[in-house]
Amino acid sequence: MATQQPKASGAELIARTLHHLGVTVLFGIVGIPVVEIADACQAQGIRFIAFRNEQSAAYAASVHGYLSGQPGVCLTVGGPGVVHGLAGLLNAQLNCWPLVLLAGSCDTDQIDMGAFQELDQVQVCRPYCKYAARPASVDKIPFVIEKALRTAAAGRPGPTYVDLPADYIQYAIQNPAAIVPLLPTQTTLAPKAQADPQAIIQAASWLRQARRPLIVIGKGAAYARAENELRQWVDKLGVPFLPTPMGKGVLPDEHDLCVSPARSKALKEADVVVLVGARLNWILHYGASPRWSNNVKYIHLDVHYEELGNNGALTLALAGDLRLTLQQLLTHATTTNLDPAYRQGLQAKAKANMAKTLTLGQQGDDHAILNYHTAFTVIKNILPRQGIVYVSEGANTMDIGRSYFDVQHPRQRLDAGTGATMGVGMGYAIAAQLYYPDHRVVSIVGDSAFGFSAMELETAIRSQLPLLIIVINNNGIYHGLDDQDYESSRHNQTLPATSLSPETRYDMIAQACGGKGWLVRNRIELAKALQESLAQPKETCVINVLIAPGGRKKLSFGWMNAAQKPKL
């Protein structure tokens, strides 16, 4: 009796291509027509993390790309699934992280007929992607997936999109042996280039003459894994450095030359600034006065040519890979003409600001209602100094928290990033806990930010990821309302747009999903909950920290600090 040839499907071709290209984890949500893809990936040994909303799945995949240096891959259904996933594409584009979105789409012979979840997804995704395509035929699937992965990681990293019609996924491959020759030849991912040697000489000369140099370390340096070269260069030059929010940890915050606590003074005084994987966008006040000196000059290291010279600042462009460029710089610069008063001034200011923070954290007695400072001080004192990966989001929670939690290792602090995207925290925490199985991921998040994706707690618990989530709960966006004001405003139907229900039991969501939860109101309760959750390294924990609603101090500069415009 003739034996029947085993058949394979388009789904298997997709899974084998991903496996062949080194993909080990897939983030997503299944439904028609992509269930078979997830099944086939699992059969290949690829882990599938099943989320509750595609937004979080795409955020998780993008942060996996940032942490691992290999594109994260997300799988969604078409139509609404892709629209939810767009949030992740935009966020990855803004942060320059490699992400590949794979989505199912309607059968090719039903296009324009009002098919199930029909959407022109290639068109919809294209503005947020470096590459977006539907394979021309089933046998072109490996070609397009390889191109999407390679493009996501090449040059400035970013998102790509691959459209997978239902009839391709279900296509019956009569001769599975024919799959092997279709699998792509592996090319070198993300080729690297050095900077122009003339520009390196010029940079060394600018630095030799600088009196008040400053090195700004961005998340591009973290992504480029430039920590060793940067460490050597900083130590050799003895120049103060300032990390951006996600550049924290590339060099340890406790390094002598770190001037984070004197940030405003450093920006204002610096005469030559080296930007290492950081852009002159809103996070760095566009590189313009009044936050920066009028005469500041920038030496900008970046892989993306078009970024260099942006925002009109006087810039020496070092286009190339950060590690290679820093290696080039290391062979040149040996001395600087640094003004000792500048360095001492920054160190004194940093010391004074740290003392101020310490005082703020001691306010009130042990039973007093908490605020940001007292809560963060308790958390800081109890968390171990090693083995923690921080995730942070929420406006005030993130801004104020940044100065409390020192980071000593690269890529161990994630926050709302370039997009100031709230709701990323759960996806980021899940991806980070997968990437760092021997660390504890601690998310310190505002109540509003947490609410965007709180249902992903169930994802974390089901996936056995022992996140520790600390919700700083002030009953709202920014400042919140206290119970009495809430009740009277609600009675009069005048609730401010920023208010959320007082004392929402976020801790009980964790309990409802099979995790642990605590509600705490003061230092003693917070300390106890922290100790108990740290003692349970396998449990997903939520500590709901009630803090006093209220304002925050007025900034001495406008928040965005847009460049001063001359009057027309």
- Residues that bind ligand ADP in the complex, under the rule CB under 6 A: 95-96, 156, 218-220, 223-224, 244, 246-247, 277-279, 281, 283, 302-304, 307, 321-322, 418
The strand pairing partners of 470, in sequence order, are: 444, 543
What's the burial of 99, exposed, middle or buried (CB within 10 Å: 0-12/13-18/19+)?
Answer: buried
Question: Residue 447: which of ligand ADP, Mg ion, none does it interact with, CB under 5 to 8 A by kind?
Answer: Mg ion
Question: Residue 446: which of Mg ion, ligand ADP, none does it interact with, CB under 5 to 8 A by kind?
Answer: Mg ion
User: HSE (CB half, 13 Å, CA atoms) of 435?
Assistant: 26
Q: Are strands 413-415 and 297-302 parallel, antiparallel or unpaired?
A: unpaired
* Shortest distance, position 481 Cβ to Mg ion, whole Å: 10
- The beta strands (E) that lie in 320-448 are given as 388-393, 413-415, 440-446
Q: H helices within 69-213, ranges in order?
A: 80-95, 121-125, 141-153, 166-169, 179-182, 197-209
* Shortest distance, position 225 Cβ to ligand ADP, whole Å: 8
Nearer of residues 345 and 419 to ligand ADP, judged by Cβ:
419
Q: Is 544 in the site for Mg ion (CB under 5 A)?
A: no
* Shortest distance, position 527 Cβ to Mg ion, whole Å: 22
- Count other C-beta atoms under 10 Å from residue 253's C-beta: 16
Nearer of residues 119 and 471 to Mg ion, judged by Cβ:
471
Q: Is 393 in the site for Mg ion (CB under 5 A)?
A: no
| CA-based radius of gyration for the chain | 25
Q: Residue 478: in which H helix or E strand, if any?
A: none
Torsion of CA 428, 430, 432, 437, to 10 degrees: 170
Nearer of residues 247 and 480 to ligand ADP, judged by Cβ:
247
Choose which of 93, 474, 522, 544 interacts with Mg ion (CB under 5 A).
474
Nearest to 453 by CA among 92, 48, 64, 88: 88
Nearer of residues 374 and 474 to Mg ion, judged by Cβ:
474
Nearer of residues 338 and 420 to ligand ADP, judged by Cβ:
420
Report residue 542 as tokens. Answer: 């939520």
Distance between CA atoms of residues 219 and 243, nearest Å? 8
Residue nearest to ligand ADP (CB): 220
Nearer of residues 98 and 446 to Mg ion, judged by Cβ:
446
Spacing of C-alpha 422 from chain mean position: 11
Nearer of residues 324 and 333 to ligand ADP, judged by Cβ:
324
Choose which of 287, 446, 466, 517 interacts with Mg ion (CB under 5 A).
446
At 254, is the secondary structure helix, strand, or coil?
Answer: coil
The strand pairing partners of 73, in sequence order, are: 26, 100
Question: Residue 203: which of Mg ion, ligand ADP, none does it interact with, CB under 5 to 8 A by kind?
Answer: none
* Shortest distance, position 324 Cβ to ligand ADP, whole Å: 8
Nearer of residues 107 and 485 to Mg ion, judged by Cβ:
485
Nearer of residues 34 and 301 to ligand ADP, judged by Cβ:
301
Report residue 227 as tokens. Answer: 């920590």
Span from 11-19, 189-197, 400-408, 445-453 in contact with Mg ion (CB under 5 A): 445-453
Contact partners, residue 224, CB within 8 Å, separation at least 6: 277, 303, 321, 322, 323
* Shortest distance, position 428 Cβ to Mg ion, whole Å: 18
Q: Is 447 in the site for Mg ion (CB under 5 A)?
A: yes
What's the burial of 281, exposed, middle or buried (CB within 10 Å: 0-12/13-18/19+)?
Answer: middle
Question: Residue 307: which of Mg ion, ligand ADP, none does it interact with, CB under 5 to 8 A by kind?
Answer: ligand ADP
Nearest to 128 by CA among 87, 164, 156: 87
Question: Residue 474: which of ligand ADP, Mg ion, none does it interact with, CB under 5 to 8 A by kind?
Answer: Mg ion
Span from 67-75, 312-320, 472-480, 554-562 in contact with Mg ion (CB under 5 A): 472-480
* Shortest distance, position 421 Cβ to Mg ion, whole Å: 16
Helices (H) and strands (E) in the chain, counts: 22, 19
* Shortest distance, position 429 Cβ to Mg ion, whole Å: 18
* Shortest distance, position 477 Cβ to Mg ion, whole Å: 6
Distance between CA atoms of residues 145 and 548, nearest Å? 50
Position 557, amino acid: F
* Shortest distance, position 220 Cβ to ligand ADP, whole Å: 2
* Shortest distance, position 385 Cβ to ligand ADP, whole Å: 23
Question: Residue 225: which of Mg ion, ligand ADP, none does it interact with, CB under 5 to 8 A by kind?
Answer: none
Give residues in contact with Mg ion (CB under 5 A). 446-448, 474
